[in-house]
Amino acid sequence: NRATVSLNTQRTVAEISPLIFGGFAEHMGRCIYEGIYDPGSPLADENGIRQDVVAALKEINFRIMRYPGGNFVSGYRWTDGIGPKEQRPRRRALAWRSIETNQFGPHEFMEFAREIKTEPMWAVNLGTGTIQEAADLVEYMNLPTGTLYSDLRAKNGHPEPYGVKYWCLGNEMDGPWQIGQMDAATYAEKAVQAAKLMRWMDPTIQTIACGSSATAMPGYPDWDLTVLGHAYDHIDYFSMHHYAANPYPTISNTERLPIDTDSYLASSVHFEEHADTLAAAIRVSKAKRRSKKDVHLCWDEWNVWYRAKGGDGEWSEAPHILEEEYNLEDALVVATWLNTFLRKADIVKIACLAQIVNVIAPIMTRKDGLFKQTIFYPLTLFSNHASGYALDALVRAPLRETNRHGPVPQLDASASFDPATGKGAVFLVNRSQTQPLVTHLCWEDEAPQSVTRAWQMSGEDPFAGNSFEQPDNVVPYEFTPPRLEGRAVTLELPPLSFTALLT
Ligand code: AHR
């Protein structure tokens, strides 16, 4: 049982956009309140921001952060979140049946983004919101003082423009669960008009239009073709959302298939199909217009999510909703997803893990601290070590039959090389639950001097996870790097494992 991975630093997919290592913070559940923002806590700084959370998020090294939703944004009035806190309104947040206190708003988010050293990415409300309100928000965030909203920003404590560059034109507008759902043509026109006004306000911004909210949507991929066809000239990115599951969800989400770990671990087949379909839709739209302009994919919601599905906050503040507990197999799927981003580095230029704290998140908090879920670790290894160019790795591995995806290679791999530093990284997932895999890595052109560091995450139980009681149950361990023999190294990958090697 053997696999080979051939690498050539001259054979690249594309330059890796650091923005593929992004996150998403929504006003829902305990993501903002009790997660990021907890002003009464001894763990919070003078701005109310939890410093243990900041430290963990900085370890992941998120380069971009989407905010404030999600479904929440489609009913959000951004003016609720500015000005003196005691005057900010409490409202019903209809998307998650919760109470929104508005104690955290635009200024607090920008302070948080500054603390974790990330680029902000704002979503505007195209559900109940108007194109004028979207343009007003751009004015508030980005214009030099001298106009109504920029002066208001100064009055609220920030005279300097924030200069937010990335702007999502609504969220999942195809979904019946969305406040203000619309059909593709209606959305496309509203997105164009919003983008037009927003850019008139600040021509330097980049805009992102909504794709279908899932491949299981009945309108997929017609929605995508319609929106791209109409809005292509007005957007820079096209958004895709995808949540992985074991068992696999059906469109109605009511029928469940049985647990099928072999198929689940092969989910990257589906991730690639999704990206390929949208890349093709982008190509067609570009060709139809004879356009010179490129649009890239912004995979701005991705994660494993299928257990904690109940989104009913019962009209309370910071309800415990979508508090998914992750296990080893989820971490392996996340690693194959990050492999997919590198393999699709030519088209996927932004990606945001949904979400970052407590709500389908790598970090879980309670009053006295946090623990890191299994998915925290592959994210951190990729985000900190994949840089430069994604390599077009030639992978040969035994095929394993799966119910959902047919025959799939046992090994899922990606690699990067940064000519500026001479550093490389290789990421390997052995998807088999039972079979180890002897893997031969060889460099066809310049071999590195050595493998400098190596980590591995594995275990016998795909369902094992971490908790406050057992925070280090499933974590990677660093091992002695395999020795280079000529231009190659050979190592045995245990079943159910993720391995990261640095050169
Ligand atoms: O991330 C949780 C929710 O999933 C988001 O609010 C929505 O956009 C998606 O359906």
For atom 5 of ligand 1, which residue has the closest CA?
A: 70
SS3 166: strand
pLDDT of residue 141: 98
pLDDT of residue 446: 82
Question: Tens digit of pLDDT for each residue in 177-207?
Answer: 999 999 999 999 999 999 999 999 999 999 9
**Residue 256, pLDDT above cutoff 90:** no
pLDDT of residue 67: 98
Q: How far is the CA of 287 from the centre of ligand 1 (A)?
A: 32
Q: Does 448 sit in the ligand 1 pocket, CB within 6 Å?
A: no
Q: How far is residue 428's CA from residue 440's CA, in Å, rounded to a whole number?
A: 11
pLDDT of residue 54: 98
SS3 168: strand
pLDDT of residue 223: 98
Average pLDDT over every residue of 333-347: 98
Q: Which CATH number fits domain 17-385: 3.20.20.80, 2.40.160.20, 3.40.190.10, 3.40.50.300?
A: 3.20.20.80
For atom 4 of ligand 1, which residue has the closest CA?
A: 70
Contact 438, 2 (CB under 8 A): yes
Q: Work out which ligand 1 atom sits closest to the CA atom of 355.
A: 1
Average pLDDT over every residue of 111-126: 98
What are the residue ranges spanned by the domains of the chain?
17-385, 391-502
**Residue 499, pLDDT above cutoff 80:** yes
**Residue 250, pLDDT above cutoff 60:** no
Q: How far is residue 233's CA from residue 192's CA, in Å, rounded to a whole number?
A: 9
Average pLDDT over every residue of 221-247: 97
In whole angstroms, what separates CA 283 from the centre of its chain?
A: 23
Q: Work out which ligand 1 atom sits closest to the CA atom of 354.
A: 1
Sorted by sequence, the CB contacts under 8 Å of residue 479 that are 6+ apart come out as 454, 455, 456
User: Which of 308, 302, 301 has its CA nearest to residue 325?
Assistant: 308
Contact 333, 264 (CB under 8 A): yes
Find tokens 């890239």 and name the residue. Answer: 296
Q: How far is residue 27's CA from residue 35's CA, in Å, rounded to a whole number?
A: 10
User: pLDDT category, 255, cuts 50, 70, 90?
Assistant: low
For atom 3 of ligand 1, which residue has the closest CA?
A: 70
DSSP state of 183: -
Q: Which residues pair with 335 in a beta bridge?
A: none
Q: How many CB atoms lie within 10 A of CB 422?
A: 13
Q: How far is residue 302's CA from residue 320's CA, in Å, rounded to a whole number?
A: 20
Question: Tens digit of pLDDT for each residue in 262-293?
Answer: 999 999 999 999 999 999 999 999 999 999 99
Q: Does 71 sit in the ligand 1 pocket, CB within 6 Å?
A: yes
Cis, peptide link before residue 449, omega less than 30° from 0: no
pLDDT of residue 251: 53
pLDDT of residue 209: 98
Mean pLDDT score of the chain: 96
Q: How far is residue 353's CA from residue 305's CA, in Å, rounded to a whole number?
A: 11
From residue 144, give the alpha-carbon distance in Å to each of 162, 167, 249: 9, 18, 48
Question: Tens digit of pLDDT for each residue in 393-404?
Answer: 999 999 999 999
pLDDT of residue 249: 63
Pairing of strands 394-396, 2-7: antiparallel
Fold of 391-502: Immunoglobulin-like (2.60.40)
Mean pLDDT lowest for which of 35-39, 59-63, 252-256, 495-499? 252-256
Active site residue ranges:
172, 301
User: pLDDT category, 216, cuts 50, 70, 90?
Assistant: very high
Q: Work out which ligand 1 atom sits closest to the CA atom of 28.
A: 6
DSSP string, 225-260: HHHHHHHGGG-SEEEEEEEE-SSPB-SSS-SBPPP-
Strand spans (E) along 25-153: 64-67, 91-93, 98-100, 119-124
Q: Does 392 sit in the ligand 1 pocket, CB within 6 Å?
A: no
Q: Does 26 sit in the ligand 1 pocket, CB within 6 Å?
A: yes
From residue 428, give the alpha-carbon distance in Å to each of 181, 453, 485: 40, 14, 19
For atom 8 of ligand 1, which residue has the closest CA?
A: 70
Sorted by sequence, the CB contacts under 8 Å of residue 131 that are 6+ apart come out as 190, 193, 194, 197
Angle between helices 184-201 and 131-142 (to 10 degrees): 30
Question: Tens digit of pLDDT for each residue in 472-497?
Answer: 999 999 999 999 999 999 999 999 99
| Structure-token pair, residue 81 | 């979140």
Contact 20, 66 (CB under 8 A): no
**Residue 87, pLDDT above cutoff 60:** yes
| Structure-token pair, residue 34 | 């009790």
Q: Does 174 sit in the ligand 1 pocket, CB within 6 Å?
A: no
Question: For 271-294, what is the HEC assignment?
Answer: HHHHHHHHHHHHHHHHHHHCCCCC
Q: Work out which ligand 1 atom sits closest to the CA atom of 243.
A: 4
